[in-house]
Amino acid sequence: MKALSQKRRHPLAAVALLLLGLLLTGGLYAAATSINEAQATNTADVYSASDVEEGERLFVANCATCHGINAQGSDAGPSLIGSGAAAVDFQVGTGRMPMQMSGPQAQKKPAQFNDEQTMQLSAYVASLGSGPALPSEEYLDVEQGNIARGGELFRINCAMCHNAAAAGGALTEGKYAPALDGVEARHIYSAMVTGPQNMPEFNDSNIPPEDKRDIIAFLKNNESQGVPGGFSLGSLGPVSEGLLIWTLGLALLIGSMVWLTSRSS
């Protein structure tokens, strides 16, 4: 025990611990770098070199002002390294990017780029580092989805912001959760894995791809139902319905009082 205690107090012990820490840090960095390199290599299996090259040209011409010439980010926009193809497909495909104006959050608008250009931009950003990729078609096939299970998952994970009827809702500081009616299946999936705006990220550990497909199936089924009552009142539930009844009831009461007063005179 005495010999062991003396070794612990050896003058070189601190140096040895420092070297060990540097080796561990270097190993972790090398592992992370190899993951990014593997992602860049895998990108070639999905996108051609010409797609990446054309995507870079589009990026420099339309996105570099905010996100930096190498997508490293700037004061006007975040870094896109590691964002992945899914983030670009969602933001650009829904018209949120490029932003029309500064505000609490990017608003949906007509897309500025067509599908091919969006794919090329996605290819370029995906080539920069690992990130969520576009979903495979099997996870977008709502025919294979479980609607009942999807409705349960949606109410647990999404309804507190997007409303139980997926009609959207207000958040803090001028932000909002958008309505999901008419949103393409791939954009819904991409939003879940990338967490745009104030939305949390739901990776495959939180919600597996099959469950994401169930949620999309529920939303598409809900969308196909229309409005059985004839007037949705914004699908805001008892608040809007109660306000309508109160307003109509009060108007009828005041109208009745005016009519009775005119009759008595």
Binding residues: 63, 66-67, 158, 161-162
CA dihedral 200, 206, 209, 212 (to 10 degrees): -50
Cα distance between the two ends of the chain:
111
CA dihedral 254, 258, 259, 260 (to 10 degrees): 100
Question: Is the bond preceding residue 110 a cis peptide, omega within 30 degrees?
Answer: no
d(CA 17, CA 221): 60
Instruction: Output the known binding site for heme c.
Output: 63, 66-67, 158, 161-162
* The pair of three-digit structure tokens given for residue 254, joined into one six-digit string: 């005041």
Other Cβ atoms closer than 10 A to 118:
22
CA 93-97-201 angle, to 5 degrees, is 75
Strand partners, 177: 169
